[in-house]
Amino acid sequence: MDLRELLSTIATTYDRELGQQAPAARLLRGAGEVLERYVPLGYLVKGSSGQSTTAFVPWIAVFDPDETDSATHGMYVVYLFAADMRSVSLTLLQGSEDLRKVIKGDALGDLAGQAGAIRRAMDPNLITDLDERVTLVAPKRVQRPKYYEAGTIIAKRYEIADLPADQRLADDLLRFLRLCEHGIDCRRQLALSDPGAIATGERYQPPAAEGFKSKDDSEHEQTIAARKIIKSRKHETLVNTFNDHLRDRGFTTASPHPRDLTATRDGQDWLIEAKVLRRGDAVQATRGALAQLYWYRHVHYTEPRTVRLLALFNEPVGDLCLDVLHANDVQAVWAEQGTWAGTATALTDGLC
């Protein structure tokens, strides 16, 4: 099942009267199995048809775990199905439940005001063709859809009877994930420059790992020469997932501080630097990987030239970046559509 079929099937078969065990409700809960091929490695996908009672407006959300892992708080990308199931809107949304605890008075109005402030702070060239609001046609007595509508920053509406091709849907989803990163940056700037525009509750803080070797995917801090380096949850998910992949292929792996990963098989050592693309910036990620690989190899190995170098990415970086890496004798592996892809040497040497 592809993304287009998933959205269409849910919309055309969803029936609140059938409850949580209905096929559409199960599809919503299992949406991650489909969307994992469409989102960069490290993002979280959750679908919901409600909890005790079936929702008028079911949804499928994609969370950046460095921002949030819940629909109750933070900013995230979500497909909101209209109550009449005639349309679905790809939406950049603010979680409202935690905000409602800190917003006094007209929570809907303040939530909409905050959405508008963030939208106005975003680069207009990136969002001119998008909608500023969604209409979910839920019964007036139902409150939650009103908060979805008020919390919408930008959206793109699709008519179920005229869904675009799957590739177009995939491109739009990736675009919104980039816009989410942009929106988060804008919200942070607003909180500093215009504090009254942003209501900030206490943000969820995942538990800190005890030392770097734990490699769990909760955000944690390393202190290196009195300088703190933040390792994001997406970064650790990337490292952990690739580590498991290498072990399955017979490599012996380790994570000696401050290197992300090392791997050995058949007497050949590999030094691996993992990078998560921020706002799709493959150039910055490639430059960072290249610099750190050469630095760590020079500093941490007695015979540096015997160690091969591998740049690991959570999504494709494009031909130009691969050419630069190849020119510097650095191989590359990246996550793509739920699997690993890589350069020819990486493939030959069993890294992907």
Domain of 90: which CATH number? 3.30.920
Residues 76 and 168 in one domain: yes
188 and 228, same domain (yes or no): no
| Element of type H or E holding 310 | strand 307-313
197, 222, 238 — which closes off a domain?
A: 197
Span 96-148, pLDDT tens digits:
888 777 766 678 998 999 999 999 999 999 999 999 999 999 999 999 999 99
Percent of the chain with pLDDT over 90: 79
Same domain, 192 and 314: no
The model's pTM? 0.83
Element (H, E) at 294: helix 282-300
Asked whether residue 205 is assigned to any structural domain, the reply reads no
Do residues 224 and 184 share a domain? no
3-state SS, 146-193, equals: HHHHHHEEEEEEEEHHHCCCHHHHHHHHHHHHHHHHHHHHHHHHHHHH
Range of the structural domain that residue 147 is part of: 3-197
**Side-chain half-sphere exposure of 269, counting CA atoms within 13 A:** 13
Residue 16 within a domain: yes
Q: Stretch 16-35: mean pLDDT, rounded?
A: 92
Residues 251 and 139 in one domain: no
3-state DSSP: the chain helix, strand, coil percent, rounded to 5? 40, 25, 35
Shared domain for 254 and 146, answered yes or no, is no
DSSP 218: S
Helices (H), 17-130: 23-29, 31-35, 97-102, 107-121, 124-127
Query: What pLDDT score was predicted for residue 168?
Result: 98
Residue 231: closest CA among 256, 258, 252:
258
Nearest alpha carbon to residue 157 among 181, 137, 140 = 137
Domain match, 24 and 113 both: yes
Domain assignment present for 203: no
pLDDT digits over 203-244, tens only? 434 444 433 354 555 554 444 343 444 568 999 999 999 999
Whether residue 227 sits in one domain with residue 191: no
Residue 190, pLDDT > 50, answer: yes
Res 211: pLDDT? 39
Cα separation, 76 vs 151, in Å, equals 11
Residue 207 within any structural domain of the chain: no
Return d(Cα 207, Cα 216) in angstroms, integer: 10
d(CA 108, CA 100): 9
- The tens digit of pLDDT for each residue in 237-267 reads 999 999 999 999 999 999 999 999 999 999 9
Residue 283 lies in a domain: yes
Give the domain-ending residue among 151, 171, 197: 197
Please check whether residue 68 lies inside any domain of the structure. Answer: yes
Q: How many domains does the chain have?
A: 2
- Return the structure tokens found at 43: 């993002």
Closest alpha carbon to 263 in 189, 352, 163:
352
Confidence at residue 203, expressed as pLDDT on a 0 to 100 scale: 41
pLDDT at 201 > cutoff 70: no
Same domain, 102 and 158: yes
Cα–Cα dist 157/159, whole Å:
7
Residue 204 lies in a domain: no
Query: What is the pLDDT, as a whole number, of residue 337?
Result: 87
Q: Tell me, what CATH number does 235's domain have?
A: 3.40.1350.10
Percent of the chain at pLDDT > 70 equals 90
Q: Are residues 128 and 188 in the same domain?
A: yes
Whether 255 and 121 share a structural domain: no
Ramachandran area for residue 105 (φ above 0: left; ψ -120 to 50: alpha; else beta): left
Q: Which two tokens stand for residue 331?
A: 């191989």
Asked whether residue 351 carries a pLDDT value surpassing 90, the answer given is yes
| Among 142, 162, 197, residue at a domain's last position | 197
Residue 198: per-residue pLDDT: 78
Dihedrals phi, psi of 278, to nearest 5 degrees: -100, 120
How far is Cα 157 from Cα 89, in angstroms, rounded to an integer?
4
229 in the same domain as 171: no
What is the amino acid identity at position 328? Answer: N
pLDDT tens for each residue of 58-69: 999 999 999 999
Residues 6+ positions from 312 with CB-CB distance below 8 Å:
238, 239, 242, 260, 261, 272, 273, 274, 275, 289, 332, 333, 334
Closest to 88 measured CA to CA, from 47, 38, 32 = 47
Query: What radius of gyration do the chain's Cα atoms show?
Result: 22
* 85 located within any domain: yes
Tell me whether strands 87-94 and 268-275 are parallel, antiparallel or unpaired.
unpaired
The number of residues making up the chain comes to 352
The CA distance from 163 to 87, in Å, is 9
Residues 6+ apart with CB under 8 A from 88: 7, 11, 79, 80, 81, 82, 157, 158, 160
- pLDDT at residue 164 above 70? yes
